[in-house]
Structure 1
């Protein structure tokens, strides 16, 4: 079975879909994208297609070819291009054999996968109200951004506001609901230490990206300050990128993104590495339906995966939501805060290609917002 064609669709709100077709007529879908750099990743996929068109589908060999054969390797653009291609190839492989992808990776280890839902938006102004509504809808876990932009040393007012939001959420939904707090790399280590200590009485499910990944050495100091689980990894790529972090003992939960870190099989390898260090996995996934489908295939065959991010209703998805491009919007079937074990072959979804083609004519030019501190210095978003 050989790859006959590769077709890309840039669709709102900020996604890039890839359709791979074989000479036998089977199709597979992947999501190769970096948010805000879709055109760049699209070009990378087109360049990589020269190594793939007309070739037999051998997923590991193709990963090695694309990752190592280009001489320069790693980073968000190249690895995200590989990730989307790899997802599509697994989709085809599963369909060809008539089984879900998780069956090709050892079979299921669970019957249900818990998910969490975003609340509050970038500045989390409505977090408590949103949390109450999501819990009433059946979710058992939520996540919010912890704070707005922060300078290296910033006002205690911002600390107090972040703590007040968390207190309001706990008052609204109690302590049985998991509440993840995403620092989004916006907080520098000094302020992160202060914030985490103040948030500790409210028992967050985890603190995410308390510092930027390039400052992961600061996690050792943060771990000394508090026992709140530390999560990070959405901006890290391949097993080599996670190697030192896992060995450091300074992280409790890793969050590789299957659209950025190298694809399904690569993240399964990363998860296996994490398991040897007794570290949990919660795949990052604020993207589209293919990304979520791939993540769930991983979750169901990965014993240390404990919760799954998903983008339904997320504040980035203005005008278009995750289910809009699916032939069957009910395929994920959230119930009681979890997704049931899927049984359809491949990634377990069918795309609404007619709608995708129509949306691709509109396209998008989504860009990350640029935030600044009061004195005009560019801040982390």
Structure 2
């Protein structure tokens, strides 16, 4: 019922949406959509887009409850019979078919993003071209990755459902930093919105002197450990106020951080711009923004220095490239957010290969030992902190479906 309604709605809004452009009888068609959720450090929703020419496009949606149902129950009937080569047309078809029920942001956009990745992979395979070539060609041969080192040992213990230490200690941060740098990462990032062992009201977004000193001590331990071997960034996960962030940034000035990520709640670009004018450190945000329209106020208000959209969340590969082009008007640099599997990661690689204002792509799964096993390849994807831009068709990787099934979330 919902699929029929979606198709009729799209046709009424934009009649051409319901009709595939005239082509030869050999035009490929989409025959099905399905998802598999992999139980990684996040639930990675893998999208399989099947075609009648034997090509299967692989995509991935940002972890989100209910995205499976939106893809299979709603979008599959909308897309079956369509030409997978019409990636941009189908992107708008999906947005219009969902209309006001989440197509601009949230779970609807997340579902569309995962399918869009699968469309690009299928198109590349059908045309026997890598995705970067379909986007206009590559500007660099390899993509620099930056390592999200989480919060030292405390994050690992929490992930294993063990009792985390009462205090997140500086020495644990230093050990994690050394391990990442020894693996070849030139940019590393740590969480600072972590417990200090003191009982405080975190909802107030205010941090007193001892709390700020705890965070300063973590940064000092990391920067002392790595010296000039790597740049260091920190993530605040939207948990601070302007007042608290200003005090913290003042305390962190001696350490020359690469950026401060998500210091304020994500909704208010004016507040972020006020903060940006008052602190010395560069600010980064973007993972909670959707599409190029979601970044317009951040750029116009000069609220940030680094732009961080999440490819399988913000609208997909083409939309992320458009965000990069918009950011380039303001001479801002892209550091895409990424907490996904190798599929989402390779989507980010192809975007990064095709835009001039790219610095690094996040890698968030160093503590998942089987991450590379998901890919049917002999060598790890990331070597010395970089991924070589692949020349194989589509996204350039194939999944080992036995390993995927082994780690499937039931």
TM-score (norm 1): 0.89
Q: 1:254 to 1:158 in 2, by over 3 A?
A: same
How far residue 198 of structure 1 moved from its aligned partner, in angstroms, is 1.3
Deviation digits for residues 26-69 of structure 1, max 9, x if unmatched?
011111133xx33x111111211121011112111111111123
Residue 137 of structure 1 pairs with residue 137 of structure 2? no
In structure 2, relative to structure 1, the CA distance for the partners of 1:98 and 1:331 (3 Å cut) is: farther
- From 174, 180, 183, the counterpart of 1:128: 174
Gaps of 5+ in 2: 1-27, 156-166, 196-201
Residue 261 of structure 1 is matched in structure 2 by 314
Distance 1:79 1:321, change over 3 A: farther
1:324, CA displacement in angstroms?
2.9
Map of 1:65 onto structure 2? 93
Report the counterpart of residue 392 of structure 2 in structure 1: 344
1:180 aligns with 2:225: no
Which among 317, 322, 330 is matched to residue 277 of structure 1? Answer: 330
Aligned 1:1-381 pairs, distance under 5 A = 1-13=28-40, 14-34=43-63, 37-38=64-65, 40-46=66-72, 47-57=74-84, 58-72=86-100, 73-121=103-151, 122=155, 125=169, 126-148=172-194, 150=202, 151-314=204-367, 317=368, 321-328=370-377, 330-335=379-384, 337-360=385-408, 362-363=409-410
Aligned length: 354
Which structure would you say has the larger RCO, counting Cα contacts within 8 Å and 6 or more residues apart? Answer: 1
Normalising by structure 2, report the TM-score: 0.83
Hey, which bits of structure 1, 4+ residues long, moved more than 6 A?
none
Aligned equivalent of 2:11: none
Does structure 1 conserve the Cα–Cα contact (< 8 Å) formed by 2:181 and 2:229?
A: no
Deviates more, 1:249-258 or 1:175-184: 175-184
Deviates more, 1:216-225 or 1:234-243: 216-225
User: RMSD between aligned alpha carbons?
Assistant: 1.7
Q: Secondary structure at the match of 1:260?
A: helix
* Partner Cα separation in structure 1 for residue 229 and residue 406 of structure 2: 43
What SS does structure 1 have at the residue aligned with 2:314?
coil
Consecutive unaligned residues in structure 1, runs of 5 or more:
364-381
- When Rg is computed on C-alpha atoms for both structures, the one with the higher figure is 2
**1:331–1:349 CA contact under 8 A, matched in 2:** no
Q: Alpha-carbon deviations, 1:336-357, whole Å to 9, x = none?
A: x322222211101110112223
For 1:235 and 1:141, the matched residues in 2 are separated by 22
On the 8 A contact 2:35/2:46 being kept in 1, the answer is: yes
